[in-house]
Amino acid sequence: MRRLTCLFISLLALAAASVPARADFVRDFAAWQKLGPDGQAAYSMALFDVMTVTFSDDPFTAARSVGLRTCALTLQIKAANVAQAITKFYADHPQARRATPFVAFNGYIERGACAPFINKARAEMGLPPMKPSPLPDDPQP
């Protein structure tokens, strides 16, 4: 079972990395719930992985990647932790249940738990600190 989960995570990460803009097949909280715990862990870790391996000439993107990697190592973040953070975001912000898991990731991981690490990387690169992310409004259908 562990090998199957690792294979699934690897395939999902490759799929997300090859087309990051289309990693939105989980479009909202309802779709997130349908994934179940293993699917949520795989999806969230693939999302995290894509955000940490982005190579770009853009210093803001590079600082985010460095900060997220440092955060993951320091806090020993596991796939289940990221999935729990995404689920907690939806629970804490029911008005955002139509938002994608990326919005939840951005709110509670990138601009939440990992913000100090990202801001440190930004400071070392001479960049200003991140601004807090605004909470998403409930988009109208």
Q: Is the pTM of this model over 0.85?
A: no
User: For the segment 27-74, what is each residue's pLDDT rounded down to a tens digit?
Assistant: 999 999 999 999 999 999 899 888 888 667 899 999 999 999 999 999
CA atoms in the 13 A half-sphere facing the CB of 108: 20
